[in-house]
Amino acid sequence: MSEQKQRSVDPAVLEMVEVAAARSVQTIWDRLEAQKAQCRFGRDGLCCRMCFMGPCRVTEEGKGPQQGICGATAETIVARNLLRHVAGGAAAHSDHGREIVKTLLLAAKGESKAYQIRSPGRMRALAAEFGLPLDGRSDSDVAAELAQLYLAEFGKQDGTLLNLSRAPEAQRNYWRAAGVTPRSVDREIVTGVHMTTMGVDNDPEHLLLAAARVALADGWGGSMIATDLSDVLFGEPEPLRSAANLGVLKEDHVNILVHGHEPTLSDVIAAVSRDPDIVAEANAAGAKGVNLAGICCTANEILMRHGIPIAGNFLQQELAVMTGAIDLLLVDVQCVFPALARLQECFHTKVVSTSPKAKFPGAEHIEFHEENALDCARRIVRMAIESFRRRDPAMVRIPKVHERLVAGFTTQVVFRILGGRYRPSFRPLNDGIQAGRLRGVAGVVGCNNPKFTHDQCHLAMVRELLRNDVLVVQTGCSAIACGKGGLLAPEAAAKYAGKGLQEICEAVGIPPVLHLGACVDNSRILTACAEMVKEGGIGDSFDKLPVVGAAPEWMSEKAIAIGMYFVASGISVVIGQPLPVEGSRVVVDFLTRKMRDFFGATWSFQPDPIKAAHLMIDHLDRKRAELGLPPPMYEVPYAPQVGDESLVFAAAAAPAPSAAS
């Protein structure tokens, strides 16, 4: 990557990148450059390491071997690799979900002081949904049975996932016909990985349908369980105000940065850091208090439940440490740069890992178990106070950049806000779509990736969608990008939305971009779509709804799993960087065209965020036309793209990589 290409559109990031250079500290962008040209076989999915006769690299084009040593072709290798990625992503979300279920069980049994059932109403609603008896039973009794029921969702050998009952009948029929109805979470992941091992499944379509089944087990299983039970345990989010970007760090406070994904510890840290005796200890060390801020998805979790500000998204994790103001960085699992612990050589920041699943050489490991959560949290906050005493004020450089935002929307909250307290309903949303005031709904989600100018694609895409009267829902690092970019602020509607969307936002009192939470909370998009179908008038299955998804700067296997469960649930998805499948025309064709025959939706790849937004808008307009809905009420000057929603991919036209590259 050339120095010319801008690294970010975020002024706080640009400032810190300069600070890093001045202090000769490496950043992710430097390490990307050090990689030079990346391997094209890997990029296109053509490298196979499934057995150790290999590794093998193949091409479809005859410029090198067309088969691996075992005879596997490009299409088999590409499809197998993709299935493994989906399994990796689904495993991450779902293992997180499992920890939340186990925490619910502890809380129900009264075995941890740190956790209570903060939303018994939601817990009972879930229990009722799955047919558990409620009459005359205590909350803890019901919660214990509910937790056992959910635990079985991971490991049961028979039946299908319980949450599938939330999907419209038509969706379930698609799944049945394609043979992708997920049975249980762990089973699908294990079977998927088994199918990819040497000499098992060779049929690309069969492998890709298995990938859909694994992904569905994530979206409707592991992730949805994580969302529902986090709401039960940590409280149902409510819309609240907060702020995002590095400027939320405070020079005169002990700063603790939480980074990772599981809300179990960060939620307790949030409580402990406000403890009067902890605050007194911080004062004694010369600080005004303890300031907590988050990075990545754990940040989204505590933002929407406690209003705790966000320091930044994925690409800002090491820059936050480079402010010299982070006294302790607490990490658990997922999306944590291994480079972080090494920053301790240059900065006073103490890096503490907590998950039994993730250790970082050089970091202090304080293993966190739900049973000892309070003691563990206190110990960690005290370490932060000690670390503050070692902070060098001369090294502190906090960019004075942050934006105000509103977060904390859930399917239930939207239900209530739209319909009012006495008649909660999705009706006003469906009405808005039917009348053409709203063109449709777009879920814009996913990561940052240093191959793209940081945050630029998220902001450009979302602004273009808003201008065209598309309501945007967000999660993960994309939500953080838009929070920092001012798109989650209350005044964003007046500034960025088209006329129709503005009218809706004013009438029902919502911002034009709804922050739904962390990446596991993409499951909220599924439940919201189910409510839209139930409300009626805009299609009886997801693939008929004017709804579309995007991940413009994705980088994680988790994003592949999410995209796959969206598409397999009937919601077409546009991603920035293509999936690593361009080495096989058969696989590209399946994902971008043939999946429509099975699920009514496809993948598209489009790195340009404006072009991608237009693909999405065209898709929404097409869905509207198919439903017999009127065209959008307000014209926006934008020329629709001609042609199919799936792009013609470079791989289909350009020569395949040669074996020599």
> Which parts of this chain interact with ligand NFS (CB under 6 A)?
261, 296-297, 314, 335, 446-447, 476-477, 519, 556, 558-559
Length of the chain equals 661
How many Cα atoms occupy the beta-carbon half-sphere of 432 within 13 Å?
25
As measured in angstroms, the least distance from the Cβ of 50 to ligand SF4 is 4
What, of ligand NFS, ligand SF4, none, does residue 477 touch, CB below 5 to 8 Å by kind?
ligand NFS
Binding of ligand SF4 by 56 (CB under 6 A)? yes
CB of 458 to ligand NFS, least distance (A): 10
69 interacts with, out of ligand SF4, ligand NFS, none, CB within 5 to 8 A per kind: ligand SF4
Is 51 a residue that touches ligand SF4 (CB under 6 A)? yes
Q: State how far the Cα of 95 lies from the Cα of 87, in Å rounded to an integer.
A: 12
Residue 629: which of 638, 620, 618, 640 has the closest Cα?
620
C-alpha pair distances (Å), 553 with each of 140, 410, 605: 42, 24, 11
Among 14, 70, 164, 271, indicate the residue that binds ligand SF4 (CB under 6 A).
Answer: 70
Which listed option, ligand SF4, ligand NFS, none, makes contact with residue 54 (CB within 5 to 8 Å by class)? Answer: ligand SF4
- 584 close to 576: Cβ distance less than 8 angstroms: no
Alpha helices in 334-455 (DSSP H): 339-342, 373-389, 411-419, 427-435
State the virtual CA torsion across 310, 315, 319, 325 in degrees, nearest 10. 20
State which amino acid sits at residue 289. Answer: G
Query: Shortest approach of ligand NFS to residue 100 CB, angstroms?
Result: 14
State the minimum distance, in angstroms, from the CB of residue 79 to ligand SF4.
Answer: 12
Return the biggest CA–CA distance within the chain. 72
3 state DSSP class of 604:
strand
For ligand SF4, which stretch binds (CB under 6 A), given 29-37, 65-73, 459-467, 534-542?
Answer: 65-73
Which of ligand NFS, ligand SF4, none lies near 331, with the C-beta cut-off 5 to 8 A by kind? none
Q: Which option in ligand NFS, ligand SF4, none does residue 476 bind, with CB closer than 5 to 8 A by kind?
A: ligand NFS
Q: Which amino acid is residue 527, in one-letter code? A: T
Q: Which of 1, 21, 39, 69 binds ligand SF4 (CB under 6 A)?
A: 69
**Contact string 29-48 vs ligand SF4 (x = CB under 6 A):** -------------------x
Of 376-435, binders to ligand SF4 (CB under 6 A) are none
- Angle (CA) 34-39-43 rounded to 5° is 120
Q: Which is nearer to ligand SF4, 6 or 67 (CB)?
A: 67
Which residues sit opposite 310 in a β-bridge? 244, 294
Site membership for ligand SF4, residue 170 (CB under 6 A): no
Q: How far is the CB of 211 from ligand SF4 (least distance, A)?
A: 18
What's the CA gap between 580 and 47, in Å, rounded? 10
Residue 51 touches which of ligand SF4, ligand NFS, none (CB < 5 to 8 A by kind)?
A: ligand SF4
Residues 31, 1 contacting (CB under 8 angstroms): no
Query: Rounded to the nearest whole angstrom, what is the least distance from the CB of residue 388 to ligand SF4 in the complex?
Result: 52
Please state the closest distance from residue 314 (CB atom) to ligand NFS, in A.
4
Residues 219-258 close enough to bind ligand SF4 by CB under 6 A:
none
Q: Are 579 and 591 in contact (CB under 8 A)?
A: yes
504 binds, among ligand NFS, ligand SF4, none (CB under 5 to 8 A by kind): none
Q: Which two tokens stand for residue 361?
A: 């050489």
In this structure, what token pair is assigned to residue 20? 């890093």
**Which one of 17, 25, 28, 72 is in contact with ligand SF4 (CB under 6 A)?**
72
- SS3 assignment, position 576: coil
Residues 6 or more apart whose CB falls under 8 angstroms from that of 320 comprise 246, 249, 257, 293, 295, 311, 312, 326, 329
* Shorter beta-carbon distance to ligand NFS: residue 474 or 592: 474
Name the binder of 265 from ligand NFS, ligand SF4, none, CB < 5-8 A by kind.
Answer: none
In the bound complex, what is the minimum distance in angstroms from residue 261's beta carbon to ligand NFS?
6
What residue type is 520 in one-letter code?
Answer: V
CB nearer to ligand SF4: pick between 73 and 344: 73
Q: Calculate ∠ Cα 445-447-450, nearest 5°.
A: 140
Shortest distance, position 81 Cβ to ligand SF4, whole Å: 10
Q: How far is Cα 565 from Cα 379, in angstroms, rounded to an integer?
A: 40
Which tokens is 123 given?
A: 């817990």
By the 8 A CB rule, do 514 and 472 touch?
yes
Binding partner of 147, given ligand SF4, ligand NFS, none, CB within 5-8 angstroms per partner class: none
Nearest CB to ligand SF4, comparing residues 56 and 401:
56
Tell me how crowded residue 275 is: count the other CB atoms within 10 A of its CB: 16
- Among ligand NFS, ligand SF4, none, partner that 486 touches (CB below 5 to 8 angstroms by kind): none
Q: To which residue do tokens 């009067």 refer?
A: 276
CB of residue 518 vs ligand NFS: minimum separation in angstroms?
6
Q: Which does 558 bind (CB under 5 to 8 A by kind): ligand SF4, ligand NFS, none?
A: ligand NFS
Question: 590, 71, 25: which is closest to 322 by C-alpha?
Answer: 25
Q: Shortest Cβ distance from residue 93 to ligand NFS (Å)?
A: 7
Q: Which positions touch ligand SF4 (CB under 6 A)?
A: 48-51, 53-56, 68-70, 72, 77, 198
